[in-house]
């Protein structure tokens, strides 16, 4: 990506202060930029870098005025952060242009492969698997028999997708995530051993879902573990069998959802949260980091915190008082003594 500042400014509807003939080739944070870099100031706290940066051009807001002269070309835009984010998006798309089928890779003869795909070396596509158009499957990924990966989905290196899993359009699956492993289901036997309950269901992932590195999603016992459209899962999350996660719910790293629990839409779940099995969480609920949710949540958009999770405000109050427990203990002892003395005095009278 090499582009003149004039051309760039036209693209983003920016007005130039300085020499628009120069060109930029890449992005860089303002303190690390070199003479080929475009940078930005969205927070005035970092404004002073403008006088030391080597950047060729810097995005600033419409009303930004430098305190003193600078050699850097300024490009004034309406919303620096959004403009930068959009440019980064285009840039990262333009970077991700891999196409074709690297060798050696393994594609079963019965697999269907769409147009303009990328299939990296050492990737494996099983029997009757269906791979949509423009899908990118990075090296060392595994797509089991009968699995489906729909159009424009990106599967990074080393993802493992068990047989029968269905993945929608425009998803991003990060390295090491596992979809469709057996649910943790065992019937205790009289001798103390466990008999495996066959896990013959599957995993269904709808459109525009992002799944983080090393996250695991187990297949259902009979039906399907379902991740609805727009769900965002961070790294190292556990999603057990038969779970359903509603649209646009976001879950932070290392959280775990136990078997058969149903999460509604637009829920936000913090890191390291644990949710027990066989419960329901209402749409829009927010669960603070490290909480443990042990009961169904029926109130929409409610906030929860703690282990076990209770109403957020009460949890915060409780934690404040928890810190005072040693002091409270002393105060209770003092009260007991005072009562004793008071009683004694009453008797004396």
Segment contacting a second copy by CB under 8 A, of 10-18, 45-53, 66-74, 308-316: 308-316
Beta bridge partners of 233: 211, 251
Among 25, 52, 62, 329, interactor with a second copy by CB under 8 A: 329
- Beta carbon of residue 218, minimum distance to a second copy (angstroms, whole number): 7
Among 136, 138, 166, 285, interactor with a second copy by CB under 8 A: 138
Is 241 designated active site?
yes
How many residues line the site for a second copy (CB under 8 A)? Answer: 103
Closest CA to 195 of 204, 186, 203: 186
5, two tokens = 């500042």
Tell me, residue by residue from 174 to 203, as one string, x for binding to a second copy by CB under 8 A and - for no binding: xxx-x--xx-x-xx----xxx-xxxxx---
Q: Among the options 48, 76, 241, 278, which is catalytic?
A: 241
Contact flag: residue 142 with a second copy (CB under 8 A): yes
- Beta carbon of residue 291, minimum distance to a second copy (angstroms, whole number): 9
Label each residue of 203-253 as H, E or C: EEECCCCEECCCCEEECCCCCEEEECCCCEECCCCEECCCCEECCCCEECC
Site residues (CB under 8 A) for a second copy, limited to 259-288: 265-266, 271-272, 274, 276
Contact flag: residue 101 with a second copy (CB under 8 A): no
Structure letter (DSSP) for residue 19: -
94, two tokens = 């333009």
Q: Give the distance, in angstroms, between the CA of residue 247 and the centroid of all CA atoms in the same chain.
A: 14
Segment contacting a second copy by CB under 8 A, of 63-71, 109-117, 128-136, 222-230: 222-230
Contact flag: residue 14 with a second copy (CB under 8 A): no
Tell me, residue by residue from 55 to 94, as one string, x for binding to a second copy by CB under 8 A and - for no binding: ------------------------------x--xx-xx--
How far apart CA 345 and CA 308 sit, in angstroms, is 45
The SS3 of residue 51 is helix
- Beta carbon of residue 116, minimum distance to a second copy (angstroms, whole number): 19
How far apart CA 171 and CA 246 sit, in angstroms, is 16
15 or 324, CB closer to a second copy?
324
Contact flag: residue 302 with a second copy (CB under 8 A): no
Among 9, 131, 135, 162, interactor with a second copy by CB under 8 A: 162
Closest CA to 55 of 79, 31, 88: 31
Contact flag: residue 51 with a second copy (CB under 8 A): no
For residue 37, give Cα distances in angstroms to 27, 75, 259, 283.
5, 13, 49, 44
Q: Order of strands, edge to edge, in the sheet holding 15-17?
A: 15-17, 73-77, 57-61, 37-40, 26-27
Contact flag: residue 158 with a second copy (CB under 8 A): yes
The SS3 of residue 321 is helix
Catalytic residue positions? 241
């Amino acid at each position: 990506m090499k582009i003149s500042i004039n051309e760039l400014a036209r693209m983003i509807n920016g007005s130039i202060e300085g020499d628009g003939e120069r060109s930029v080739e890449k992005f860089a944070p303002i303190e690390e930029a070199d003479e080929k870099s475009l940078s930005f100031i969205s927070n005035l706290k970092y404004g002073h870098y403008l006088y030391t940066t080597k950047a060729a051009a810097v995005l600033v807001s419409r009303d930004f005025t430098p305190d003193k002269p600078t050699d850097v070309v300024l490009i004034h835009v309406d919303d620096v952060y959004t403009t930068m984010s959009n440019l980064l998006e285009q840039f990262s798309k333009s970077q991700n242009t891999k196409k074709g089928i690297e060798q050696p890779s393994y594609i079963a003869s019965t697999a269907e492969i769409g147009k303009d795909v990328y299939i990296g070396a050492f990737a494996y596509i099983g029997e009757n698997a269906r791979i949509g158009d423009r899908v990118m499957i990075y090296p060392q990924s595994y797509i089991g028999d009968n699995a489906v990966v729909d159009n424009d989905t990106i599967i990074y290196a080393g993802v493992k997708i068990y047989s029968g899993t269905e993945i929608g359009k425009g998803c991003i699956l990060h390295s090491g995530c596992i979809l469709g492993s057996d649910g943790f289901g065992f019937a205790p036997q009289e001798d103390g051993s466990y008999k495996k309950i066959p896990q013959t269901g599957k995993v269904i992932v709808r459109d525009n879902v992002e799944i983080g590195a090393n996250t695991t999603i187990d297949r259902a016992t009979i039906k399907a573990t379902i991740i609805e459209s727009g769900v965002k899962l961070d790294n190292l999350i556990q999603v057990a069998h038969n779970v359903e996660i509603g649209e646009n719910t976001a879950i932070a790293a290392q959280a775990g959802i136990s078997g058969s629990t149903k999460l509604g839409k637009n829920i936000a779940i913090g890191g390291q949260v644990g949710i027990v099995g066989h419960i329901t969480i209402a749409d829009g609920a927010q669960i603070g980091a490290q909480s443990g949710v042990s009961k169904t949540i029926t109130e929409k958009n409610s906030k929860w915190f703690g282990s076990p999770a209770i109403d957020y405000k009460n949890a915060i109050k409780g934690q404040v008082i928890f810190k005072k427990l040693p002091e409270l203990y002393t105060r209770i002892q003092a009260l007991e003594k005072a009562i004793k003395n008071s009683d004694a005095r009453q008797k004396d009278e």
